[in-house]
Amino acid sequence: MKNLLHKLRNTVFKKTNFKAFFFFLFFSVVIWVLVQFSKNYKQAVDIKVEYINVPKDKIVKKREDQFSIRLNDNGFNIAWFSFIKPKIEVSLEDLLETENELIFSIESDKQNLQDQLDININDVTFLKDTLAIPYVQKKVRKLLVKPKINVNYAPGYSSNEKLILKPDSIQISGASAVVDSLDFISTEKLNLENVQNNLKGKVFIDTTNFKEVTFYRNNVTYLQKVEKFTEGRAEVPIEVINAPKDLNLSIFPKRIVVIYVVSLENYKSIVKENFRVICDYKDLKEDQNFFIPKLTEKPKNVTSTRLNINKVQFVIKK
């Protein structure tokens, strides 16, 4: 037996060129594959769909879908489609609406599909004509925006005007139960320090706890006029009110100083006659021998005030 194997090795195999054999074998396989893949085949391929541009007035929980097509193409293209797992994007804006579904017509959107899939539509058979996307109609409301803006002015600066927002209200949409429970929405917290110039900027809406609510805009503009302010003083008479007519009442002092803060622009327009300080006889408690003065009137452009004394003595003459 050993002699037979030795003889075969030295005769048959020795005369065979294995490199050439495998080359021609490989070449034949390649040719066969190319021939087979160059033929046309019909193959069903699944196309994944991702929904984008969801209308703000609708709740769509189904964000992905798929449909099938039958390709009539060569084996190379079919293999490529099977390998890459094709995916398209479909905008939900401007789709046909029914009572509770959006309808995407595959047939009428062939050109878009051709562009996204890079295929010849003439070589494709759609196994489905439409895709139905369920939705829930949102309720739309316009809500007031309240600022959460803390302004700390630089020394000597302040404002007579209220900080305003533009717009002061925005539209939101969502499930009726959620939207109807809201009275207003707020901005995010914002701290402004050492302010000495007019305020103007943007602040974002606080959407932290409203995951199911759509906001038609995410920021508003805040505005406020800021001015240089100074302190002024006005000495005004003290009025006693609600005292009995037959009561001979004397107070001390008879005049009081009102200390106020006003913008430099309006400082000269302040008239002391526009301040009024009273002592109300009805506010007296038993055995009380002094009044507590109150400032009841002041000019509109004055921001803050205080009185130089907080007690007014009185005596009743018999």
Domain CATH code at residue 312? 2.170.120.30
The answer to the question of residue 12 being in a domain is no
State residue 100's pLDDT score: 87
The answer to the question of residue 172 being in a domain is yes
> What are the angstrom distances between the C-alpha of 284 and each of 212, 242, 287, 292, 312?
58, 11, 8, 9, 12
The answer to the question of residue 297 being in a domain is yes
State residue 166's pLDDT score: 97
Q: Could you give the percent of the chain with pLDDT greater than 90?
A: 44
Q: Are residues 242 and 183 in the same domain?
A: no
Q: Are residues 45 and 129 in the same domain?
A: yes
The answer, yes or no, to whether residue 7 has pLDDT greater than 60, is no
CA atoms within 13 A on the CB side of 190: 22
The answer to the question of residue 95 being in a domain is yes
**What is the DSSP code string of 28-84?**
HHHHHHHHHHHSEEEEEEEEEEEEES--TTEE----EEEEEEEEEEEHHHHHHHHHH
Tokens 């539509």 belong to: 121
* Predicted confidence (pLDDT) per residue in 267-308, tens digit: 999 999 999 999 999 999 988 889 999 999 999 889 889 999
State residue 254's pLDDT score: 94
Q: Are residues 267 and 290 in the same domain?
A: yes
State residue 77's pLDDT score: 60
pTM for the full model? 0.59
Name the residue with higher pLDDT: 14 or 317: 317
Q: Are residues 285 and 311 in the same domain?
A: yes
State residue 231's pLDDT score: 93
Pairwise CA distance, residues 308 & 315, whole Å: 21
State residue 64's pLDDT score: 87
Name the residue with higher pLDDT: 14 or 3: 3
pLDDT band at 89 (very low <50, low <70, confident <90, very high): confident
Pairwise CA distance, residues 10 & 207, whole Å: 87
State residue 120's pLDDT score: 67
- Structurally, the chain folds into a number of domains equal to 3
Beta carbons of 97 and 79 less than 8 angstroms apart? no
The answer to the question of residue 5 being in a domain is no
Q: Domain end: 162, 193, 225, which one?
A: 225
State residue 239's pLDDT score: 95
Q: Are residues 170 and 92 in the same domain?
A: no
State residue 112's pLDDT score: 79
The answer to the question of residue 73 being in a domain is yes
Q: What is the mean pLDDT of residues 170-177?
A: 89
Domain extent at residue 55: 39-137
Q: Domain end: 225, 244, 269, which one?
A: 225
Q: What is the mean pLDDT of residues 176-184?
A: 90
Q: Domain end: 225, 257, 282, which one?
A: 225
The answer, yes or no, to whether residue 62 has pLDDT greater than 60, is yes
Q: List the CATH number of the domain containing 176.
A: 2.170.120.40
The answer, yes or no, to whether residue 169 has pLDDT greater than 70, is yes
The answer to the question of residue 32 being in a domain is no
Pairwise CA distance, residues 153 & 303, whole Å: 13
Q: Are residues 218 and 237 in the same domain?
A: no
The answer, yes or no, to whether residue 226 has pLDDT greater than 70, is yes
The answer to the question of residue 252 being in a domain is yes
Q: Are residues 198 and 251 in the same domain?
A: no
Tell me which residue of 132, 46, 67, 58 sits closest to 93, measured CA to CA: 58
Q: Would strands 255-263 and 302-307 be described as parallel, antiparallel, or unpaired?
A: antiparallel
* Amino acid (1-letter code) at residue 154: A
Pairwise CA distance, residues 119 & 213, whole Å: 39
